[in-house]
Structure 1
Amino acid sequence: MNRNFYKDVLFGVAVGDALGVPVEFKLREDIAKKPVTDMTGFGTYGQPPGTWSDDSSLTFCLADVLADGYSLQKIADSFVNWLYNEQWTARGEVFDVGMATRVAIERVLHKVRPDLAGEFDESSNGNGSLMRILPLLFYIKDKPVKERFAIAKEVSSITHGHVRSVIACFYYLEFARSLLANNDPESVYQKVKTEVSSFLEGTTINPDEIALFDRLLKGDIYMLPVTEIQSSGYVLHTLEAAIWCLLTTTNYSEAVLKSVNLGLDTDTTAAVTGGLAGLIYGFESIPEHWVLMLARKNDIDALAERLASKYKRN
């Protein structure tokens, strides 16, 4: 089958994001009283159905630059254009920005080097780089592992420079890379466990940082009950929740809705889950009425085509 992975990724992220926007910050217990089962609107931000947030905006900014080739400065500049000029916003306004992301983009605006713009301290490990990193897959997929890690680090560091955020982005991209060749999430999970562990243990990264990923790298996260899965804006929570949702569901809709119904950072958890679910099940598996409601769907489609023409193997 001739899959359009570019479309799978971009729509996978954006639809998950838009499903989560109306209930962002709601507690799991409150959502459970009326679970999300479809695309809705006018919730947390008063936005119409199909409106995606900063997660998708920054994903599209990255993809837009990559469609012309890799340039860290241009990626950082596109984030500035999003924050200050509404580039790649769903409906012409920026309505949801993480504090670390905002501060880092302001630094870029003031000519700080992009890979030094994000904070490097331990308290700056929100999910703001993980949520936007997936299109980088298409640029790094055929490069050696050390280079894949180095480029993931560079792109994460525009907003989040701490090694924990970098490892999360690297793990996520490695998972996605394996899905390009094998769309069985459980076998990919086992493969990535071995390969990522082996790579990280061969680096100079503090073993205590690597150990924080043990539930993904040493355990079987899908065996955990929902009560053990957290869905805050902390990068490790988001990554764990996304992989857990993927491994405990069997289709795109089920995966992203499960993510949203975890509560709290609903848009980001569902965007991160949705990108991988798109790779597993394909664009055609996303309910058509969700795609039809999506803001700027034709622009997203055109962006996917630009990526395809740049990166598709002949």
Structure 2
Amino acid sequence: MGVCVGDALGVPVEFSSRAERQDDPVTDIRGYGTYNQPPGTWSDDSSLTLCLADALCDGFDLARIADKFCLWFTEALWTPYNEVFDVGGATSRAISKLLRGGSPTESGGTGDRSNGNGSLMRILPMVYFADHLPFPELLQRVHQVSAITHAHPRSQMACGMYISIARQLLRGQSPNVALEEGLAAVDPFYQQGPFQPERSHFQRLNGQLAQLPIQEISSSGYVVHSLEAALWCFLNTDSYAEAVLQAINLGSDTDTVAAITGGLAGLHYGYEVIPEDWREAIARKEDIIALAQRLDQQLSKAHSQ
């Protein structure tokens, strides 16, 4: 729900500039705007997050995850109103490959320009394996799930860092400690293989990130920018509502940056702290909650066997 609420808050103002948001800041849930959708409508960010969660209810299987993504693309699975909108280019190309019979291990783009935020925005359900898998295996699976649509090492690293930080939040760590320990946990893995040359792109994700002025934070769709912006908003606010509104009012890729921020803020602050009127406005709220409960039950059952 943290992802979905952030996403829905950002959908009506996606692509607006930071100056526009400063003149007319988002302070509450809105409707219509960019995509002319009613209040509480979430986009592909949440749809693909929910598709991943749905697939994980039956265990980890890349082919099943890819199939759910294809069903979203072709049959509007896990959409608010049976309509697909706001599909990213890299995601569209990868799913088109899958629909032509391609393998989920070979579908994602590997070029330097295939580093949008389309895998980062949907990766959060993987954190629920954190207590069920050794960390190296968890990280490998996160990379595999990213690579269905975004196979460049930089995108895989962004997803790995995000899940590692989220894992620390699930353990009750503060945002600053979760950032520090989450990054420390992945560091040995990213000093080798195809990841090592990409490390310089993430050099701002250190103890100084929160101190950067807003002018140095970009909220574009580039995966590194989106991760930096989400963490910056999360670290510089004290509630779920403040975090996601801060993300939206950066402008640009408002729904996705708010979804990424909202995932972390939801884990940290909890469901009950998300403003009730925002939760109540969310399309298919009960379906989302039922899916989350099903995933939790399935993982608990698998872990106890």
**TM-score for both structures, normalised by structure 1:** 0.94
Question: Does the CA contact (< 8 Å) of 2:154 and 2:195 recur in 1?
Answer: no
Determine which of 258, 273, 283 is the counterpart of 1:270.
258
C-alpha separation in 1, matches of 2:130 and 2:270? 21
TM-aligned CA deviation for residue 219 of structure 1: 4.5
**Partner of residue 134, structure 2:** 144
Aligned partner of 1:99 among 89, 103, 107? 89
The answer on whether the counterparts of 2:70 and 2:98 sit within 8 Å (CA) in structure 1 is yes
Aligned residue-pair number: 302
The aligned counterpart of 2:284 is 296
Deviations 1:236-255 (A, max 9, x none): 00000011111000000000
Distance in structure 1 (CA, Å) of the matches to 2:281 and 2:186? 38
Which residue matches 1:90?
80
**Residue 224 in structure 1 maps to residue 206 in structure 2:** no
SS of the equivalent of 1:205 reads: helix
Query: Residue 284 of structure 1 aligns to which amino acid in structure 2?
Result: E
How is 1:28-107 mapped onto 2 (pairs within 5 angstroms)? 28-107=18-97
Matching of residue 256 in structure 1 with residue 244 in structure 2: yes
Please tell me whether the aligned partners of residues 164 and 183 of structure 2 are also in contact (alpha carbons under 8 angstroms).
no
Match of 2:200 among 211, 218, 224: 211
> Which residue does the alignment assign to 1:283?
271
Indicate conservation of the 8 Å contact 1:128/1:159, yes or no.
Answer: yes
1:190 aligns with 2:180: yes
Q: 8 Å contact 1:185–1:247 — kept in the other structure?
A: yes
In the alignment, what sits opposite 2:224?
A: 236
2:99 counterpart residue number: 109
Give SS of 1:114's match: coil
* 1:107-162 CA distance string (max 9 Å, x none): 11111110210110111000000000000111344322321221111100110000
Which whole-Å deviations, capped at 9, do the CAs of 1:258-301 have from their partners, x for residues lacking one?
00000000000000000000000000000000011000001001
Identity of aligned residues (%): 52
Mind listing any 5+ residue stretches in structure 1 that lack a counterpart?
1-10
Deviations 1:40-81 (A, max 9, x none): 011000000000000000000000011121110010011110
- Which residue matches 1:305? 293
Question: Which residue identity is paired with 1:30?
Answer: E
In structure 1, what residue type is equivalent to 2:67? D
Q: Is the 8 A contact 1:62 1:135 kept in 2?
A: yes
Does residue 1:156 correspond to 2:146, yes or no?
yes
Helix, strand or coil at the partner of 2:27: coil
* Paired letter, 1:65: A
